[in-house]
C-alpha cells in the first residue's frame, strides 16, 4: 500500500547522525514508565477541581448580588 506524499523510508529515523546533548542525553538513558492514577487519587483530584469551581461560582454570584462584596473586590483591584 503506497500512501501518497510519503516515501517508503519515512518510518526510519537515523538516531546515530547527531549525538544527543544535555537534557536529551539524560532522558534518553533513563527508562520512565507512566502509571495511571488510582481511584483514590482521581477522587481527590476531582474533589479539588469541583470544590474550586463551586468556590468560583459562589464568588461570581456574590459579586453580582451583594453590593458590599462587589465594593470589596472593586477596592482590591485598585
Which tens digit of pLDDT belongs to each residue from 13-70? 555 567 777 777 777 777 777 788 999 999 999 999 999 999 999 999 999 999 999 9
Structurally, how many domains does the chain consist of? Answer: 1
Query: Residue 34 has what pLDDT?
Result: 75
19 lies in some domain: no
CA distance 57 to 46: 16
1 lies in some domain: no
**pTM for the complete prediction?**
0.52
Q: How confident is the model at residue 5 (pLDDT cuts 50, 70, 90)?
A: low
Cβ neighbours of residue 69 under 8 Å, at least 6 residues apart?
62, 63
The beta strand positions in the chain, using DSSP E, are none
15 lies in some domain: no
72 lies in some domain: yes
User: Chain centroid to CA 70: how far?
Assistant: 32
Q: Which domain holds residue 49?
A: 36-76
Amino acid at each position: 500500500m503506497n500512501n501518497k506524499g510519503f516515501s517508503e523510508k519515512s518510518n526510519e529515523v537515523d538516531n546515530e547522525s547527531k549525538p544527543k546533548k544535555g537534557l536529551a542525553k539524560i532522558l534518553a538513558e533513563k527508562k520512565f514508565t507512566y502509571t495511571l492514577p488510582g481511584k483514590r487519587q482521581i477522587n481527590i483530584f476531582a474533589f479539588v477541581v469541583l470544590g474550586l469551581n463551586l468556590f468560583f461560582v459562589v464568588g461570581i454570584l456574590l459579586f453580582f448580588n451583594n453590593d458590599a462584596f462587589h465594593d470589596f473586590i472593586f477596592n482590591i483591584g485598585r
